[in-house]
Structure 1
Amino acid sequence: MGQGSIFFLKRPYLVAAIFLALLTSVFAFSVLEIGGEDALTRYQHGLPLRVGYALEAPFVMLDADGDVTGEAPEVLRHVLHTLGLEHVVWLHGDFGSLIRELESGRIDIIAAGMFVTAKRRERVLFSRPTALIRPGLLVRRGNPLNLLSLTDFSSQSGARLAVIDGSIEQQQAHAAGVPGRRVKFFPDEVSAMAALRAGQTDGLLLSAVSLRYLIDRDDAEAFELVAAQTEQAPGAPAFAFRRQDSRLHEQVDQALASFIGSAEHLQLVEKFGFVASDLPRATEESER
């Protein structure tokens, strides 16, 4: 027996430590290898699909039991079920951080009523849109500043506009020339409506379907919904995927093709305030 063998026999704890270190390294390497693969391969290894969401009713909300529901989760659940992808976990985040979470690999799909834009398309793959959404402007009852359009927030020096941070409405406000100092950012519609109710802002720019849903279930007497006069085309919310997850993106998009705009689709989402005119035709692609 050599001196090296005697050395290890006298120090069994050292042998155990080295063995444990080697085992940990192998396990870590395996995890990294799985993490480097696309979402469908990870799913085949027994790992769940991770869906990121942000709360904005009626696109995403929590039901009485605390489960994630709303237009986006229910449509995605339906599609994943048809694809046999049932092992799913839902991860909450601020809307403005969801694309970063997707790019970093912490989530696999965004289901949050996120609108398709050219800038976002540079970073993610979008499915075909699940709805066509027009903007709305929420003000306090009586509309004390007579705010009827985004241009009113530019012409009236004291008018303050609330938007959800990272939302398409934030971009619309900028495109309409609303001064940045008059735009207030909020992480979700609940905090934005609370600020409007408290007089900290004078209007909330959000999708009309979201605002209709919110005032129907909140203090309808405190608010008034006016049509936001913008030249923007209707927004097109869709599911977002990492660019390397083209297989998952294609499978979901193909499953959506025959579902979007169907009677079954309308029946699924009408409880969230969506009507037939809010839905694209089944063959309509996400060109927005």
Structure 2
Amino acid sequence: MLIAQAQAVATQAQAQDAPKPIVSDNKLRIAMPAFASDPFFPADGSGDNGIDMDLARGIAAELGVEPVFDRSAVTFDGMVQKLTSGQADLAIGKLSRTLKRGRSILYSRPYAMLHQGLLANRVNLARVTQGKPPEQIIRDFSGELGVIEGSSFATYAATTFPHATIQRFAGWNTVIDAIRNGTIDLAYRDDFEIKKLMVDDPSMTVVARSITLTDKVDTIAVGVSPANPHLAAFVDLYLDLARGQQVLNTDEIIARYRQGSKA
């Protein structure tokens, strides 16, 4: 009787000491936007390749669980809401780190570091600068500035360009259209997306020019549920050990994009 009780106590102690699974139900729930952002992730249902797709699957594989993608978010902030509502464990989708988002979610270390940038309508920019170098007047810019609703740049805009009139658009294509027809003077996004646009459509150089804000960075990281700090620590460990602390820059990402577009 005493032996049986001792064995039961030992078994219970072992169960209590056993490491708890980092995620439940043998699944890693990953929020990713429905739209595409090559070469990070494709549009929902259009493929399996991309920097973020590979990252998500790699983390899941090291955890020994199945990656389950939730592609219902229509904005970057929508991914964050998936985390805060408990509907996702991770948000992986070219997600910028911001202080505002950091109040409600956890972040991994950055795995990509971009510069912030501007796409300027050439005619409007010439009117604003009046022959002066754009870099001299850009921070005091008081014209029409376009951003994507629900993006980090919609948050940055008021601080970086306090005198500008901010126009919010549903998507990047509508921002580009507004630059083309001159209804806005500048578009505000990371320099990778602006350079990628010039690769895709060289005719844009006729109506627009790009400006890189070299003193402003946009760090891309994995968003993690605030309820799971162990998972956040594991993602950092994965980036350190499996990825060798690699932090991609704009030139490396553009090179991968060019390679993919030729395939």
TM-score by length of 1: 0.65
Deviation at 1:138, TM superposition (A): 0.9
Q: TM-score, normalised by structure 2?
A: 0.71
Q: How many residues align?
A: 229
Instruction: Note the alpha carbon deviations across 1:20-54, whole angstroms, 9 max, x for none.
Output: xxxxxxxxxxxxxxxxxx9944332xx55232336
User: Using the alignment, how far apart are the partners of 2:81 and 2:211 within structure 1?
Assistant: 32
Tell me which of 224, 230, 236 is aligned to 1:247: 230
**AA paired with 1:103?**
T
Q: Superposition pairs for residues 1-288 of structure 1, below 5 Å?
A: 40-44=22-26, 47=27, 49-53=29-33, 55=35, 57-58=37-38, 60-62=40-42, 66-67=46-47, 69-93=49-73, 94-141=75-122, 143-145=125-127, 148-149=134-135, 151-152=137-138, 154-156=140-142, 159-179=143-163, 182-217=165-200, 219-223=201-205, 224-229=208-213, 231-232=215-216, 234-258=217-241, 259-262=243-246, 270-272=255-257
Contact 1:53 1:110 in 2 (8 A): no
The answer to whether the Cα contact below 8 Å between 1:59 and 1:112 also exists between their aligned partners in 2 is no
Deviations 1:233-266 (A, max 9, x none): x221101111112222222221111215559999
Query: Which ranges of structure 1 fall in alignment gaps of 5 or more residues?
Result: 1-37, 275-288
Residue identity (%): 19
Shift of 1:95: 1.7
> Hey, what's the Cα distance between the residues in 2 that align with 1:245 and 1:160?
41
What CA distance in whole angstroms lies between the structure 2 residues aligned with 1:56 and 1:75? Answer: 16
Q: 1:43–1:98: structure 2 CA closer, same or farther, 3 Å change rule?
A: same
Deviation at 1:133, TM superposition (A): 1.1
Report how far residue 146 of structure 1 moved: 5.4
Going from structure 1 to structure 2, the CA distance change for 1:151 and 1:88 (only over 3 Å counts) comes to farther
Structure with greater proportional strand content:
2
CA contact (8 A) 2:30 2:92 kept: no
CA distance in 2, matches of 1:111, 1:220: 30
Gaps of 5+ in 2: 1-19
Measure, in 1, the Cα distance between the counterparts of 2:61 and 2:70. Answer: 15
Instruction: Give the conservation status (yes or no) of the 8 Å contact 1:59–1:210.
Output: no
Decide whether aligned partners of structure 1 residues 126 and 64 sit closer, same or farther in structure 2, where only a CA change above 3 A counts. closer
Q: CA RMSD in A?
A: 3.5
